[in-house]
Structures are given as structure tokens and as C-alpha cells.
Amino acid sequence: MTVSGVNLDLTRVRPYGDTLDDGWVQMSLTLPVPSGPEATRAAEALCEKMGLDDVRVVYSRDIAGTFTFFVVYGKCVHSVDFTAIKVSKVNMRHMTFDEINEFIATCIGRKIVVVAACTGSDAHTVGIDAIINMKGYAGEYGLERYPWFVAYNLGSQVPNEALVAKAIEVGADAILVSQVVTQKNVHIDNLTNLAELVEAEGIRDKVLLIMGGPRIDHELAVELGYDAGFGPGTLPSHVGAFIAQELARRMGVWAPAEKA
């Protein structure tokens, strides 16, 4: 592969700083020690153990007297074989707002019903609001604005049982759950519980189960029995397109390889 006239070996990819393949990286970290020369040296030593050469602490700041925050530069000595990378990805074709609505009208012929919430102890609605609420996110409308979606946003700290009950009540096509709180992997326990409840209610084959959050990816979603997982950077159109396309695929009226 050629980048800016330079041949790049994709089997040995290193970070890019000032020049291609120089290995320079910037990272930040906090240590539970008071600020000072000893703390700076501790941060350098730790980064060296991580595999960085020529380590330089370019910024440090005392935090509450017993912690120190650092910004560090260093050269990464390791590389990665990019050609060997395999990633589990959501199987969908990106569509715009208008394309999604036209697709639903043509291929499904009815409105899609979605219920969504932050469940368990999670009180952070920023993610689910970005996908569902009419105002949307990053210049895109949320699913409430889509004429071919009926979206119910139940908000935060919703018991899994209440989310499933709402899905049954309204005949939901998809259940969306957002998990921002991840300390001690509480999100995994909560997501597992939700999947088990959906199975126990006998509606698993009737709904799409979709998870999202800062530590969510599609691989985790599949592992926990969900249909899709969306992480940071997800837009409403990503979720909307997946729901529409997957429902159409299950109805037998569309296949991913086709250009709808």
C-alpha cells in the first residue's frame, strides 16, 4: 500500500507522529501519588514498561494533593499486522434519513415500533437521547422525527422488567438499551439479565435486541445474545438503517447484498 508516495507495509503498522512509521504516541494517565519529580519519574518508568522509548512527560498537574495527572509522549516499539485484523461488525448499509424512510415505506409498509431506555442503575440518558429524541445528534434527527418510526424513550434507571413490559404492550419491533455506567462490568450483568427476560417472555424471535454505550461493540452484543451493538460515534441513522434492513431481511423482502 502506498501513502503519500511512501510504500507502507500493512503487516507492520506503527503509530504516526511527525513522520510515517516513527512510532510517536501521546497518552495521558493519572497516578495516585503527590505531584513532584518522583511522580514524574514514576510516570516515565511506567510508560517505559508499557513499551515506549524516549519517554517525555510534557505536562503534569496536581489533583487534590494525592494524585497527579500526566500527558506523556513516547515512541512505541511495537507494531501490528493490519492484514490479520478481523472485526465483528453490524451488517448494514448506511442510509440517510430520507433513504431510511423510503426503504421502510417500500419494503416494510408500516411504521416500525421501538422502545428504548437506560436500564438498571444507569441514569445517563445522553446516548439514548441522541438516538431517539427528535432533536437527535451531530446534525441528524433522532428516531422520533422519522415518520416511519414510532419511538418510546422510557428514560433512565428503568427496570429491565418495565422495558420488556412496555415492548410487549406496544408490540415493539426493537428494544434499545443504553449502558453508560460500566464500573465492575455492571453493564454486562444488566444486559445479560435483559436478554434473559426477553427470552423468558417468549418474544425473542419477535424483537430486535440492540445495545449501545461507550464500552459496547458488536462482538460483545453477539456474545450476550443481542442482534447488534453500537459504540461511540453511533448516529441515529446507523441504528435506524440497521433496524429497517434487519426487519426487511427477516421478512424475506430484502437481502444485504442487494441495492435497495
| Residues of the domain holding 204 | 97-251
Domain end residue (candidates: 39, 57, 82)? 82
Angle at which helix 186-200 crosses helix 160-170, to 10 degrees, equals 40
pLDDT (tens digit per residue) in 150-204: 999 999 999 999 999 999 999 999 999 999 888 888 899 999 999 999 999 999 9
Q: Residue 111 has what DSSP assignment?
A: P
Cell numbers at 188, concatenated: 454486562
Read out DSSP for 152-200? EE--SSB-HHHHHHHHHHHT-SEEEEE----GGGHHHHHHHHHHHHHHH
The reply to whether 160 and 53 lie within a common domain is no
* 209 assigned to some structural domain: yes
* pTM metric for this prediction: 0.78
Closest by alpha carbon to 70, among 102, 29, 124? 29
State phi, psi for 120 to the nearest 5 degrees: 70, -140
Residue 67 DSSP SS3: strand
Domain end residue (candidates: 54, 82, 110)? 82
The reply to whether 146 and 47 lie within a common domain is no
The reply to whether 114 and 6 lie within a common domain is no
The residue annotated as part of the active site, out of 49, 89, 111, 135, is 135
Asked whether residue 259 carries a pLDDT value surpassing 50, the answer given is no
Angle (CA) 112-117-121 rounded to 5° is: 165
Count other Cβ atoms within 10 Å, centred on residue 54. Answer: 11
Asked whether residue 226 carries a pLDDT value surpassing 60, the answer given is yes
First to last CA, the chain: 33
The reply to whether 58 and 122 lie within a common domain is no
Q: 22 CB contacts (<8 Å, ≥6 apart)?
A: 14, 15, 16, 75
The reply to whether 128 and 75 lie within a common domain is no
pLDDT (tens digit per residue) in 117-160: 999 989 999 999 999 999 999 999 999 999 999 999 999 999 99
- Residue 227 sits in a domain whose CATH number is 3.40.50.280
* 216 assigned to some structural domain: yes
The reply to whether 118 and 219 lie within a common domain is yes
Q: How many domains does the chain have?
A: 2
Q: Is 135 tagged catalytic? A: yes
pLDDT (tens digit per residue) in 55-66: 999 999 999 889
